[in-house]
Amino acid sequence: MKAYVETLESPAGPLSLAVDEEGALLWLQFVDGDYGWTVEGSLEEEGYRVQEDASRTARAREEMMEYHAGERREFGVPFVLRGTEWQKAVWVALTRIPYGETRTYGEIAAMVRRPKSSRAVGRANATNRLPLVVPCHRVIGADGSLTGFAGGMHLKVSLLEHEARVLGGDAAVLGRLSEA
């Protein structure tokens, strides 16, 4: 198996992406995140031969750049979800959160018909390999607080601020995010 990687700039800093031989996204990771691994290292552990090939990553790159420029709110690039059936159900639910909006862990639990599973939603969120495309940054605490993001809260805040700015968000909303 081969995976093709590329790093590009995003509103939250450098973003590494990996696609398979058909161009489907395998992984997205913010380089400045608080992760204990790299995309390349993780893929190699899974048996992928990692290479660079800009022609293979072109569609994913283009869509990421459009998102960063405020020109894309939904992604069309195919992607691969690797996880348990529960995780996949949560991740699919995350893709239904509209751009610039947030949902609570409890609301996501209700979307997947397990309304008492908000903590399990949080655990699934933490293992999401495709932030932005599977927008885990749009999930917040029941009290409206910004809670958890695998790469660090600074990234979550940056992404939410970016979407608020693109939508013409008011200064008060952006100010609350900056204080988080």
* 65-104 per-residue burial string, b: 16 or more CB within 10 A, e: under 16: eebbeeebeebebebebeeeeebebbbebbeebeebebbb
Catalytic residue among 28, 136, 140, 146: 136
Q: Which residues contact 170 (CB under 8 A, 6 or more apart)?
A: none
Q: Is 136 a catalytic residue?
A: yes
Q: How many CA atoms lie within 13 A of 30 on its CB side?
A: 21
Strand 139-140 and strand 25-30: pairing?
A: unpaired
Distance CA 180, CA 178 (A): 5
| Residue 8 tokens, joined | 């590009």
47: left (phi over 0), alpha (psi -120 to 50) or beta: left
| Tokens 């979407």 found at | 163
Query: Looking at the annotation, which residues are catalytic?
Result: 136
